[in-house]
Structure 1
Amino acid sequence: MAQPGVNTAGSGGLLRKNKVQKRIFIFFAIGPSFLGYLLFTLYPNILSVYYSLLEWNGISASKFVGLDNYIYMFKDNFVWTSLYHNLILMITVPILTIYISVFLAYLLNNKGYLESAFYKVLFFLPNVLAIVVVALLWRFIYDGEYGMLNAFLKLFGIETNNFYWLGDTRTALWAILPVSIWSGVGLYIIIFMNAMKGIPASLYESAILDGATHMQRLFKITMPLINPVIRVSALFLVLGAFKGFELILIMTNGGPSGSTEVIGSYMFNMAFGKNSHNYGYASAIGMFLFVIMVVAKMIIDKFSKRDEIEF
């Protein structure tokens, strides 16, 4: 029974009006982003699945070949060699980047250096530079005749005989590692420093009273408390090790003799290389790369600790 003096029809109309306004707001707030996701993410991925079933060079008429591209891909030795190089990068780059970043962030956050602000800018500088600039800079460092690395080694009496570090199959891939780490450390120093600022100083004070060293405080207090941030950073670095190929493409283009080829660069060369324009096969490699990244993400979620530590 309606209460006297209460206009139920008016309140019902107001409620419907509020619902309509809410739906309009949600549509205009989410609609553009969702449309962008459909056009630039979902639709290209679906199209890539279709292209992977074709024999097509991007210009002439396409030919449906079914799973032939996938069958050939699993027989292609270059695919497995590229995957092996990706695994090396996936294991070394995230681990070294995270440990170096955490260590430097801990020093800058807890040592109280007067120059901490300057060091933050200095470490972050590589992230400001374009990837092309970083690649060309390190190509010059590794140059055999004029490179800074050979000149530095000569100061210590190590004769390199103008050795070109990116031109030898034994050293080319390992020469890529310092570049990848150097270009990523600065960003994660900033991320970890911001995470460390949320740790109460009383925890460190109690540890100091108990006689804990800096390394014990780092591994027993700091790293466990910022573990969620480390886990997310590790995920980004692992996926980046599989997706990223721009650095390798500019520095070595997969050479010499495929010694630095990764899945991303091999896929790119299959689609847009000088001697190959096989969009169908490149799309099949792209689907394979997608599956690998999904599996890598699941493995990280499975084995990384998710214990929340309260303080």
Structure 2
Amino acid sequence: MASPETTSRAHKGSLMKKSDMQKRLFVLFAVWPCFIGYLLFNLYPNIVSVYYSLLEWNGISEAKFVGLFNFVSMFKDEYMWRALYHNLILIVTIPVLTVYISLILAYLLINKGYFEVKIYRILFFIPNILAAIVIALLWSFIYDGSYGMLNGILKVIGIDMKEYYWLGDERTALWALLPPLIWSGVGLYVVIFMNAMKSIPPSLYEAAVLEGANHTTRLFKITIPLLTPIIRVGILFLSLGVFKGFEFMLILTNGGPSGSTEVIGLYMFSMAFGSTSHNYGYASAIGMFLFVILIVVKLVTDRIGSKDSLEY
């Protein structure tokens, strides 16, 4: 006959097994809808794209297997390399400027003690809750040659641009895309950096003040080194966004004038869904190339700066 202690232990073990089973069932039922959605709308399309990249197919007629022909054609395509060159210009400027501006604004809001800090945080974050099309249309009005705000401001300070269309000139179109792209991302990183700066002990700044360090020295000698891991992640996300995103180019210029603002994402989109081209196989090959580029960007970003986090 089993002792009461043995029966109690067996009962507890049974309850623990039952509890573990209930937890596993709960996790299974909670996760499986998201997992199925990931399989259907993320993993499956990517796998199918690999297959499509080996075909010559316009989406309507019968597909023809061409092997690596699309990849060979892609590497000979001067328009694809031109689009990639534009991406490289954007990836050198947008992440750096966005992070730099966000750091300065966050530092000022944290350390200057402005009464309106909460209002500023909301104002800076507004572009992040607006749709891309809203931001693009807003900046298209700013750059308009006839009644645009930019030409109006320049005229007030004595620079008469007459009816100059900033998005209609090959020399300025790509550079005119930088302000809206940066403006749309600064607010999010201001909030992120502000929250990170609040975790830095005030004693570090107090010691720096006693040694005569000004705000610039404190920013670059204390704040930025301590925020290096967060800055690295921000640069990574911004860099990946530069290569994947093309909404602003599509709405503002549609790659023009004369392809001066076309990026690789927009070129891929045009190849698949453009008015004159429906080459899903070739677009899928560009997508595979873009996937490789994103991996390279991730690896390069991981090597930026020291991986050893500073302690305080």
Question: Which TM-score bucket, shorter chain as reference?
Answer: over 0.9
Give the counterpart letter for 1:100 in structure 2. Answer: I
Q: By how many angstroms is 1:45 displaced?
A: 0.4
User: What is the TM-score of this pair, normalised by structure 1?
Assistant: 0.95
Give distance in 2, aligned partners of 1:217 and 1:194: 17
Within a 5 Å distance, the mapping from 1:188-207 to structure 2 comes to 188-207=189-208
Q: CA RMSD in A?
A: 1.6
SS in 2 for 1:39: helix
Moved more, 125-134 or 189-198: 125-134
Aligned-partner Cα distance in 1 for 2:5–2:127: 70
CA distance in 2, matches of 1:55, 1:10: 65
| Partner of residue 103, structure 2 | 102
- What is the rounded CA distance, in whole Å, between the counterparts of 2:270 and 2:41 in structure 1? 22
Whether the 8 Å CA contact 2:228–2:305 is kept in 1: the answer is no
8 Å Cα contact 2:232/2:304 also seen in 1 = no
- The residue identity in structure 1 corresponding to 2:157 is F
Cross-structure match for 2:6 = 6
* Aligned residues of 2:54 and 2:70 also touching (Cα < 8 A): yes
1:166 aligns with 2:172: no
User: Which amino acid in 1 is paired with 2:119?
Assistant: F
1:66 aligns to what?
Answer: 67
Which residue in 2 is equivalent to 1:35? 36
Partner of 1:272: 273
Distance 1:181 1:5, change over 3 A: closer
Pairing 1:136-147 to 2, within 5 Å after superposition: 136-147=137-148
How far the C-alpha of 1:4 sits from its partner, in A, is 7.1
CA deviations on 1:104-129 (whole Å, 9 max, x unpaired) are 00000100011111211221121122
2:56 matched residue in structure 1? 55
Deviation at 1:18, TM superposition (A): 3.8
In the alignment, residue 6 of structure 1 is paired with which amino acid? Answer: T
- State the Cα distance separating 1:228 from its structure 2 match: 1.4
Q: Deviations over 1:46-75 (max 9, x none)?
A: 011111111111122111111111110000
Letter of the 2:267 counterpart: Y
Q: Closer, same or farther in 2 for the Cα pair 1:4/1:276, shift >3 Å? A: same
Superposition deviation, residue 146 in structure 1: 1.2
Alpha-carbon distance in structure 2 between the residues aligned to 1:13 and 1:97 = 56
Count of aligned pairs: 310
Separation in structure 1 between the aligned mates of residue 193 and residue 10 of structure 2, nearest angstrom? 57
CA–CA distance in 2 between the matches of 1:266 and 1:116? 42
Structure 1 residues 290 and 154 mapped into 2: Cα distance closer, same or farther (>3 Å)?
same
1:128-139 matches, within 5 Å, as 128-139=129-140
> Which letter maps to 2:226?
L
Measured after TM superposition, the shift of residue 36 of structure 1 is 1.8
1:159-308 equivalence runs, <5 A: 159-308=160-309
Report the Cα distance in structure 2 between the residues aligned to 1:139 and 1:15, rounded to whole angstroms: 63
For residues 27 and 162 of structure 1, do their structure 2 counterparts lie closer, same or farther at Cα, with a shift above 3 Å needed?
same
Q: What's the CA shift for 1:15?
A: 4.9
Contact 2:268–2:287, Cα closer than 8 Å, also in 1:
yes
User: Aligned in 2, Cα 1:12/1:197: closer, same or farther, shift over 3 Å?
Assistant: closer
SS in 2 for 1:303: coil
Please report how far the alpha carbon of residue 143 of structure 1 lies from its aligned counterpart in structure 2 after TM superposition. Answer: 1.0
Deviation, structure 1 residue 166 = 0.5
Question: 1:19: how far off?
Answer: 4.1
Unaligned runs of 5+ in 1: none
Letter of the 1:21 counterpart:
Q
TM value normalised by structure 2: 0.95
Q: Are 2:133 and 2:251, in contact at CA under 8 Å, matched by a contact in 1? A: yes
